[in-house]
């Protein structure tokens, strides 16, 4: 994994410019049941003739179908690093605020598999897949970078993108590069101790939703970092500077041959994306 980065590119809304923030859509209220029909009766000249049964008046409008729970929500997806970082060392090594009184390099190049498949390409592909799945459910998606050829954005700018979008959830997508023998598995980082209300219970719940769904999707928790798939961190600028619920998922260790093979394949990346999208949906519905 590597710190998140900066770009001057505008916010992207599922492939288009994000021009306005979005508010939650309240479910449409169901139409009221039809009122009973009151009929007045008069004495019949023929007592043996029964009075006609009242006929109910149909409702003028059928009950509206409530929108999906997550419709109208805003999710910011932050694919780690960028393809142009390596060619711009001066820019990405520039110190920027990282929260808690720290500064850190603007961004980094990220890691890669032993065969050379880069983290920045993996994270961008997975983020696009996650974004499509969410957009198909009516969720508004904003990306922190529009492509995999640019530089940055810096970690402070990445956090600002989520804040400015009023995101209901911010998920940063990464992959680790541990050289420890046998190191494998995913872990989910969150800012701790929290610096604001959003970094408290909301971010913890988001991290837990990611952890739980990754597990039920067949991914193993890391055996070399964190506890039970969760990692409390005070040193990640993108999380420290967030005022929205935020978490960072390290999908696995790119230096592990088995995990590298999964990350390198399109089917494997779709598995990661499906798990992350399902976790975000579960969080938004909770």
Residues with catalytic function: 250
- Yes or no: say if 105 and 27 are a contact pair by the CB < 8 Å rule: no
Tokens 């600028």, residue located: 237
- Yes or no: say if 168 and 284 are a contact pair by the CB < 8 Å rule: yes
Would you put residue 53 in left (φ > 0), alpha (ψ -120 to 50) or beta? beta
- Yes or no: say if 105 and 81 are a contact pair by the CB < 8 Å rule: no
Please name the helix (run of DSSP H) or strand (run of DSSP E) that holds residue 278, with its range, or none: helix 266-285
Q: Which residues pair with 143 in a beta bridge?
A: 12, 77
Closest CA to 281 of 203, 168, 173, 175: 168
Is omega for the bond preceding 165 within 30 degrees of 0, making it cis? no
Q: Where would I find the beta strands (DSSP E) of 74-186? A: 74-79, 95-99, 102-105, 140-143, 169-176
Q: Cβ neighbours of residue 229 under 8 Å, at least 6 residues apart?
A: 185, 186, 187, 188, 211, 214, 215, 221, 222
Task: For the chain, report the end-to-end CA distance as a whole number of angstroms.
Answer: 28
Q: Cβ neighbours of residue 130 under 8 Å, at least 6 residues apart?
A: 77, 171, 173, 273, 276, 277, 280
């Amino acid at each position: 994994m590597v710190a998140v980065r900066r770009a001057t590119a505008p916010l992207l809304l599922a492939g288009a410019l994000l021009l306005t923030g979005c508010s939650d859509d309240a479910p449409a209220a169901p139409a009221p049941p039809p009122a009973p029909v009151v009929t007045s009766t008069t004495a019949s000249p023929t007592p043996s003739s029964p009075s006609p049964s009242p006929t109910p008046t149909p409702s003028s409008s059928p009950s509206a179908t409530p929108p999906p729970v997550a419709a109208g929500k805003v999710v910011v997806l932050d694919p780690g690093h960028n393809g142009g970082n390596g060619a711009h060392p001066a820019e990405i090594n520039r110190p920027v605020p990282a929260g808690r009184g720290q500064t850190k390099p603007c961004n980094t190049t990220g890691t890669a598999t032993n065969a050379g498949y880069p983290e920045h390409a993996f994270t961008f592909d997975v983020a696009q897949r996650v974004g499509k799945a969410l957009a198909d459910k009516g969720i508004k998606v904003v990306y922190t970078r529009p492509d995999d050829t640019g530089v940055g954005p810096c970690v402070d700018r990445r956090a600002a993108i989520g804040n400015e979008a009023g995101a209901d959830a911010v998920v940063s997508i990464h992959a680790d590069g541990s050289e420890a023998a046998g190191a494998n598995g995913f872990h989910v980082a969150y800012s701790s101790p929290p610096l604001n209300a959003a970094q408290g219970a909301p971010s913890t719940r988001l991290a837990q939703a990611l952890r739980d769904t990754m597990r039920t999707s067949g991914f193993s928790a890391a055996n070399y970092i964190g506890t039970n798939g969760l990692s409390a961190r005070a040193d990640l600028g993108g999380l420290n500077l967030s005022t929205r619920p935020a978490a960072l998922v390290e999908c696995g260790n790119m230096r592990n041959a088995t995990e590298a093979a999964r990350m390198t394949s399109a089917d494997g990346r779709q598995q990661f994306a499906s798990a992350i999208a399902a976790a975000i949906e579960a969080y938004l519905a909770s």
